[in-house]
Amino acid sequence: MSVETKGWAGMEFDGMDLGDKRLNQRAVKLVEKLAAQPMASIPAACGGWSETSAAYRFFSQEDVSWQDILAPHWQRTQEYGRAGVMGAGVRSCIPTLMLQTPYVASSSY
């Protein structure tokens, strides 16, 4: 996928390796949906049962940690900081806080 066809999340999480290309794609899709409606529940943010079910299947992956998901984002944040991009520190904490909330980070909900 070229840079022109990637959304912001695709560019931010470029290089993500969760062990399966489909998991990488699902992660980017979920980041976009959850970021678009940060206060919404997972079902509300996903907008339908099939997307909600896919989200919960993704969250139940035992081999995928939130650190694995955020590794490319942390890398980009460091790159932004070295390049002098304003707001890099704020950008780096928001997804971490979202994924560390019990509702989003736990597959038991």
Q: In this predicted model, which residue has the larger pLDDT, 83 or 20?
A: 20
- pLDDT band with cut points at 50, 70 and 90 for residue 60: very high
- pLDDT tens digits, residue range 22-39? 999 999 999 999 999 999
Higher-pLDDT residue of 12 and 24 is 24
The mean per-residue pLDDT over the stretch 54-58 comes to 95
What's the per-residue H, E or C state across the chain?
A: CCHHHCCHHHHHCCCCCCCCHHHHHHHHHHHHHHHHCCCCCHHHHHCCHHHHHHHHHHHCCCCCCHHHHHHHHHHHHHHHHHHCCCCHHHHHHHHHHHHHCHHHHCCCC
Q: Residue ranges of the domains in the chain?
A: 7-105
